[in-house]
Structure formats: C-alpha cells, structure tokens
C-alpha cells in the first residue's frame, strides 16, 4: 500500500477506540469531562493536543487534521470554518502594526480585502506585485517587510509564482511565506517541501469535493501551530464543526480519484475550446500555449479542472446568451465539487470593485467536474452555436 492510500484510508483512525467502526464516529460534543481534578489539570496543560473543549481539539476533527498534514507534508494542520478564516489566521499570525506585506496581484478577493482594507486599519501596509517574476518580490522588500503572500496559480487568470525561488528570497530576509494552495491541492503541489512556511486552502473546494460544506485548512510547523493555537485560533474561534469534519474525511477518501478524473477530462474540454472559432483565448496552466507552461509542469504534478476562456463577443447580451444556454455547467461561484461550473466575469460588471484590466468582462472561468467530458463538450458545442 503506498503512502497516499495509507493516509487517505487509515492514518489517524484508531478503530479499536470506537468498536472497530470502519467509518469514524462524529464526536458531536462541545466539552469533555474528567474523573478527577488532577486529570483535568493535566488535560488543560495539553489543550492544544488533547480534547478539552471543541473550540480547541475535537477527536473527529483531529483525524482530518492528521490526514491533511500528512498530505501536505507539514508537521501540523488546523482546520477552520472557511478558507477565508484560515487565510486570516495565517496572515494575522505573521504581522504586527507597522509591518509591511508583499502580496501577489489578483489574489482571492477576500485575501485582498484582508490585506488592503482590514489590516490597513491596524497599521499593516501592503504592496501588490506581479508574481510571475520573483525579482518583483525582491524589489518590493522594505526594512519592515514581514510577509510574502502567494497564490499559485491564482483562480481567475492562473498566473504562477516560482515557489522555491520566492521562498529562497524570503528566507534570506527573514520573511514569512504563505501560499494559498487551493488550486493545486496537496496532491499536485506541496509548497512546504519547496521552502514555503505555511499553506492555506479552501477546504470547500477539492478537499471536500462535494459542494456541501465550507471549510478552511492551514498547514504549518509545530512551532507555528503552537503560536496560532494560543492566539488567532482560540480567540477568533472560527472552527469547523465535528459533523462537517466527518463529511470532509468522507470527501477526502475520493480525492485522488477525483483529481485523476479532472486531470484526464479537462485537457479534452480545453482542447475543444482552443479549436473553436467563437473562443478567442483559453487560459489554462497545462496548455502548451500558456506562457508559464514549463513552470506549471515543473511545479505541479498534474492538471487541475479550472481554466478561463475569452469569448469572442462584442456585447454583454451575447455573453449572457452563451452562459444561459449551458445545461451541464451550472452558473455558480466556487469549484472543486462533482459538478461542472462556470463563473462569468459578466456577473461582476455592476460591482464597485470590478476592474476590467484585471478581468475582462468576456472572461468566463470554468471548472470541469466529474461528468463525462464528451457530455460537457456537446453542451459547450450547442451553447456556442
């Protein structure tokens, strides 16, 4: 049995502790009691490792944490009630008032809000850089730079960052690095092994994979875990519920075969669109036409299911018509579930934060789910007309 199968099927599951049940129990409790005061006193000393109160450690969540840390290749993992909560905890644990952050351009929208709106209220400044050239990180460093925030690839136009190169620059200046690894999953990219300090994920996406819960993941060293547990984790209290943790363990069981399916199907759908006259461009890191194709192949093990297209249209009504005709691609945010999705930039054009230069109005982000790729291609063919 290889290591991946062991992690997914067995790691963390001490079945003799719960009647030999194959599927672990949902330990649906807020608190844990003790026979003696001495036991209680001792348990409090181990609050970050053993069950005392579910805002800290819960046994069902602990099984999930062990699996995720092993997948990511990190010493520890914390699970949150959303990806945004995980990102906020990781970022806030890395900065103090007066510090400076260098963040990749066009990160996930709430990462942007955190760095440029919320933390600026507390005296943390942020510079946004084009992450495709590691020198831009180097050049943005100031005496008070404490954090490099990365997201490779990002989730609209999929620009990559050279993670080992940027990690090396950060190490030389004693700067912490965080990568949002949601796009690739730990199966396809392991930033901590490339020298990155912490990774964060939206567990809502591939890791759970069934579009039925919202969760976040933060992977880090034991030392960081201790710091964050006693500070951001316990004070913000943005935890996952035991029941959602159980669902996520169930979702993880099929992560390798879901990622395999997506890696097989997506290039077929991409290639159909690349050859269609009504599509002016397909943006997909695993397409040879992608400017950072070589870096994508070097840094990620397999293709994922997200890409974007620029539709050859002159008016918003034509974009609406295409999107409205699709039957198998549901129109929704998010990705990483079983169902194929589109997120058209056309949905954002009335929003105050919308910037045409970041995302053209005729850009449509796709996620290829687990359906037969031939069914998806036929759907696209009829919608493109």
Residue with tokens 């093990």: 301
- Comparing CB distances to ligand PLP, the nearer of 74 and 204 is 204
**Closest distance to ligand PLP from the beta carbon of 220 (Å):** 17
| Closest to 232 in 3D by CA, of 149, 117, 114, 116 | 114
- Comparing CB distances to ligand PLP, the nearer of 214 and 239 is 214
**Cα 6–Cα 199–Cα 127 angle in degrees, nearest 5:** 170
- Burial class from Cβ neighbours inside 10 Å (0-12, 13-18, 19+) for residue 152 reads buried
- Comparing CB distances to ligand PLP, the nearer of 72 and 151 is 151
**DSSP for 1-38, written as a single string:** --HHHHHHHTTT--GGGGTT-SSPP----SB---SSHH
**Closest distance to ligand PLP from the beta carbon of 198 (Å):** 14
CB 125 within 8 A of CB 79: no
**What SS3 state is found at 156?**
coil
Copy the structure tokens of residue 274. Answer: 């690349």
- Comparing CB distances to ligand PLP, the nearer of 224 and 365 is 365
**Closest distance to ligand PLP from the beta carbon of 158 (Å):** 11
**Closest distance to ligand PLP from the beta carbon of 80 (Å):** 8
Q: What residue number has its CB nearest to ligand PLP?
A: 83
**Closest distance to ligand PLP from the beta carbon of 204 (Å):** 4
- Comparing CB distances to ligand PLP, the nearer of 43 and 198 is 198
Q: Which residues of 298-309 are buried (b: 16+ CB within 10 A; e: fewer)?
A: ebbebbbbbbbb
- Comparing CB distances to ligand PLP, the nearer of 108 and 137 is 108
- List residues binding ligand PLP (CB under 6 A): 82-84, 108, 151, 155, 180, 182, 202, 204-205, 214, 216
In angstroms, rounded to a whole number, what is the distance separating the alpha carbons of residues 129 and 135? Answer: 10
**Closest distance to ligand PLP from the beta carbon of 22 (Å):** 29
């Amino acid at each position: 049995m290889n290591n991946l199968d062991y992690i997914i099927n067995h790691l963390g599951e001490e079945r003799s502790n719960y009647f030999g049940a194959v599927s672990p129990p949902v330990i649906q409790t807020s608190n844990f009691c003790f026979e003696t005061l001495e036991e209680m006193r001792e348990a409090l000393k181990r609050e970050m490792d053993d069950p005392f109160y579910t805002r800290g450690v819960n046994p069902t969540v602990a099984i999930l944490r062990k699996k995720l840390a092993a997948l990511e290749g990190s010493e520890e993992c914390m699970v949150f009630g959303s990806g945004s909560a995980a990102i906020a905890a990781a970022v806030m644990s890395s900065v103090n008032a007066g510090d400076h952050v260098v963040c990749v351009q066009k990160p996930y929208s709430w990462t942007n809000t955190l760095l440029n709106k919320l933390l600026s209220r507390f005296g943390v400044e942020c510079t946004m850089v084009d992450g495709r050239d590691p020198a831009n990180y180097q050049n943005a460093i100031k005496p008070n730079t404490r954090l490099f925030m990365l997201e490779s690839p990002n989730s609209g136009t999929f620009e990559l960052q050279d993670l080992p190169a940027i990690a090396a620059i950060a190490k030389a200046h004693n700067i912490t690095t965080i990568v949002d690894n949601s796009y690739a999953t730990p199966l396809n990219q392991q930033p901590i092994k490339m020298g990155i300090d912490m990774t964060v994920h939206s567990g809502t996406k591939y890791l759970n994979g069934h579009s039925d819960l919202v969760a976040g993941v933060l992977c880090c060293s034991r030392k960081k875990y201790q710091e964050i547990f006693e500070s951001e984790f316990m004070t913000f209290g943005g935890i996952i519920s035991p029941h959602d943790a159980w669902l996520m363990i169930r979702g993880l069981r099929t992560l390798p075969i879901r990622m395999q399916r997506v890696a097989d199907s997506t290039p077929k759908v991409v290639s159909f669109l690349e050859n269609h006259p009504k599509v002016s461009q397909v943006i997909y890191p695993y397409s040879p036409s992608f400017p950072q194709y070589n870096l994508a192949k070097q840094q990620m093990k397999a293709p994922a299911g997200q890409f974007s297209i620029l539709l050859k249209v002159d008016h918003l009504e034509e974009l609406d018509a295409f999107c409205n005709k699709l039957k198998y691609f549901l129109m929704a945010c998010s990705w990483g579930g079983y169902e194929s999705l589109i997120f058209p930039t056309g949905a954002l054009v009335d929003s105050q934060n919308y910037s045409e230069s970041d995302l053209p109005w005729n850009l449509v982000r796709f996620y290829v789910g687990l359906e037969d790729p031939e069914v998806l291609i036929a759907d696209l063919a009829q919608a493109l007309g």
